Amino acid sequence: MSESRVRPPGIELAGVTRTYGERGPDEVRALRGIDLGIPPGTFVSVEGPSGCGKTTLLNLLALLDAPTSGEVRWDGRTVGTRSERERARLRLAGVGFIFQRFYLLPTLTARENVELPMRALRTARAERARRASELLAEVGLGGRERAYPHQLSGGEEQRVAVARALANRPGLLLADEPTGELDSTNALAILDLLERVRRDRDATLVLVTHNPAVAARARRHITMADGRITSDVAGA
């Protein structure tokens, strides 16, 4: 369970913009022209003030959203503007997304939440159960498989969310302020966990954060302001 089965794609963004709302006074230009390349297996942090477009950028990387103009490419193939159906297919197998607010399904147990992406991929039941147990054990929740989200602490919920993001062994892990709603102890634990799974699986990790201490863990630091990338530096 240590190797990544799905090789992470090399990601390229070329001239990407994203505008919300109708043209006119109400339109919000969340991204104003992003050019960015992320080679497979890197750990990138994205920082910037609130409203600068971090989540918008991450959503485009995750294929949750399509750019208004420009191209999102995986391994040279334009994927950002494909149909929602195709993007969903790529997402399911290739992307693990961790949200700030965990977003576990409240009616499912921890284990069922982790199994959800595997079910969607029609993984065999026994394999599903085995992998879910493994993943929950890996994030330190071996004994809590049958707990519902409301029975878990925030830190535990986020660990379940990490396990769920890893379920289909994606090459690309995207985390949008995964520690934003956690205290510093839990935040550090999640961060350690993400770093470890990234390293074990040789996955790409893009992590959005407000927190410089968190960002410091990354190998490459992108800073944004007002819909643009203002700095992009490598180094620990």
Partner 1 sequence: MTLFGRRGSLRHARLQLVLAVAAVGVAVALPVVLVSVGGGVSAHELHDLENAGYQIVVSAPGLHGIADSHSLTERMLSISGVSAASPVLSAGIDTFGASGGPTAALAEGVIPAEFLPTLGPSENGLFPSPLPLGDPMDLVHFANGTYQGHATLDVIVSSPFAAAQNLETGQTLYLGPSANRSQAVGYTITGIFGVPPNLLGPIGAFAVVLPLSDLQVITGYGPAATAVVPDASDTIEVAVAGSVSADPSALSSVEAQIQRLVPYYGVSSLNQEATELQQASGVLTGFYLALSSVGLTIGLLFLALVLLRRVEADRRSIGIRRALGVPGRQIAGGIVAEGLFLAALGGVAGVVAGYLIVEAIATFATSTVQEAAQLAIFVPATLAAIVGGVLALSLLASAIATRAALRIEITEALR
Ligand X SMILES: Nc1ncnc2c1ncn2[C@@H]1O[C@H](COP(=O)(O)OP(=O)(O)OP(=O)(O)O)[C@@H](O)[C@H]1O
The footprint of Mg ion (CB under 5 A) covers: 55
**108-111 LR contacts (CB < 8 Å, sep 24+):** 108/148, 108/149, 109/145, 109/146, 109/147, 109/148, 110/136, 110/141, 110/144, 110/145, 110/146, 110/147, 110/148, 110/149, 110/152, 110/160, 110/163, 111/136, 111/145, 111/146
| CA–CA distance, 73 with 125 (Å, rounded to integer) | 34
Give the nearer residue to partner 1 in terms of CB position, either 43 or 99. 99
Shortest CB 208 distance to ligand X, Å: 7
Among partner 1, ligand X, Mg ion, none, partner that 30 touches (CB below 5 to 8 angstroms by kind)? ligand X
Among partner 1, Mg ion, ligand X, none, partner that 144 touches (CB below 5 to 8 angstroms by kind)? none
Among Mg ion, partner 1, ligand X, none, partner that 53 touches (CB below 5 to 8 angstroms by kind)? ligand X
Number of residues counted as binding ligand X (CB under 6 A): 12
> Is 229 near ligand X (CB under 6 A)?
no
| CA–CA distance, 211 with 87 (Å, rounded to integer) | 30
Give the nearer residue to ligand X in terms of CB position, either 87 or 144. 87
> Is 216 near ligand X (CB under 6 A)?
no
> Is 21 near ligand X (CB under 6 A)?
yes
Classify the C-alpha dihedral 125-89-196-177 as positive or negative.
negative
Alpha-carbon separation of residue 112 from 32, 36, 128, 160, 161 (angstroms): 40, 36, 10, 10, 11
> Is 51 near ligand X (CB under 6 A)?
yes
Among Mg ion, partner 1, ligand X, none, partner that 1 touches (CB below 5 to 8 angstroms by kind)? none
Among Mg ion, partner 1, ligand X, none, partner that 28 touches (CB below 5 to 8 angstroms by kind)? ligand X
> Is 56 near ligand X (CB under 6 A)?
yes
